[in-house]
Amino acid sequence: MHHCPLCRQITTQPHYQDKKRSFFLCDNCGLVSADSHSFLLPTIEQQRYGRAKKAGKQRQLEDFIESLIQQLRDLGQTELNGLNFGRVLSEHALTKVKTAGYHMQQFDPFFAPNHQVLQQQYDVICSYRVFEHFREPAKEWRLISSLLKPQGWLAISTPLLRSPAAFAKWHLKNNPTHVSFYQPRTFTYLAQISGFELLFADGDFVLMQKAA
Ligand SMILES: [Zn+2]
């Protein structure tokens, strides 16, 4: 038994083990977490994370943000102040977002560690393929939820684990930079403890709204 890095309860059980890592499942919040002893060195993590700057990933990030803007527009939300948390969008794509009437700040722990942008609150925060890299998900969740204004929107892309039984065959666990794995019920738990409404959690997309 060890403490769950998300809910801090001693409700974790050994869940799966491969040649390099052990994984624990939390009964309370449903998070599957990699053993912290197996974390990569920060320099290696940065190298691997940096690969996401390649064109393919960048296009996926752009698509994610464009479809989010479309959804917000459908909800009648325009001229929002947003924060893109965890992965940097190219200047070109950022200009397109601005043209659509949205102001977007960016924070990336490796490539845009501008802590100034963490000093204010936002109408919308999006985070594309970042949550699975969180070594301290409780701390990151506290930060992200504190950066959101009341009634603000939080859009997350992270692959959701359909069931704990599916973990053994899940290829996403094989990437050593992936250390936190969420089930839909993990976001139900986070919504409950933080005063969010969970609007959607399926596939690899989660949408939540902070209470007024
Ligand atoms: Zn937990």
Distances (CA, A) of 105 to 69, 97, 143: 15, 11, 15
Residues that place a CB less than 5 A from ion ligand 1: 4, 6-7, 26, 28-29, 31
pLDDT of residue 197: 97
- Identify the burial level of 6 via C-beta atoms within 10 angstroms of its C-beta, where 0-12 means exposed, 13-18 middle and 19 or more buried: buried
108 falls within a domain:
yes
CA 120 to centroid of ligand 1, rounded, Å: 28
pLDDT of residue 100: 82
Q: Which phi and psi angles does 158 have, rounded to 5°?
A: -150, 140
Render each residue's pLDDT in the chain as its tens digit; 212 residues.
679 999 999 989 999 999 999 999 999 999 999 999 888 888 888 877 766 556 678 889 999 998 998 888 888 887 889 999 998 888 888 888 888 888 999 999 888 889 999 999 999 999 999 999 999 999 999 999 999 999 999 999 999 999 999 999 999 999 999 999 999 999 999 999 999 999 999 999 999 999 99
165 falls within a domain:
no
CA 38 to centroid of ligand 1, rounded, Å: 19
CA 182 to centroid of ligand 1, rounded, Å: 10
Tell me whether strands 12-17 and 22-26 are parallel, antiparallel or unpaired.
antiparallel
128 falls within a domain:
yes
CA 180 to centroid of ligand 1, rounded, Å: 11
CA 89 to centroid of ligand 1, rounded, Å: 31
206 falls within a domain:
yes
Instruction: Look up the domain containing 141 and give its range.
Output: 40-160+190-210
CA 35 to centroid of ligand 1, rounded, Å: 14
Tokens of 184: 């839909």
Which CATH number does the domain housing residue 124 bear? 3.40.50.150
pLDDT of residue 53: 59
172 falls within a domain:
no
Tokens of 62: 């752009």
CA 51 to centroid of ligand 1, rounded, Å: 30
pLDDT of residue 94: 87
- Identify the burial level of 4 via C-beta atoms within 10 angstroms of its C-beta, where 0-12 means exposed, 13-18 middle and 19 or more buried: buried
pLDDT of residue 11: 85
139 falls within a domain:
yes
- Alpha carbon distance 70, 75 (integer Å): 9
pLDDT of residue 77: 83
- Alpha carbon distance 45, 34 (integer Å): 15
CA 138 to centroid of ligand 1, rounded, Å: 9
81 falls within a domain:
yes
83 falls within a domain:
yes
Residue closest to 167 by CA, chosen among 6, 15, 29, 39: 15
Domain count across the chain:
1
CA 12 to centroid of ligand 1, rounded, Å: 7
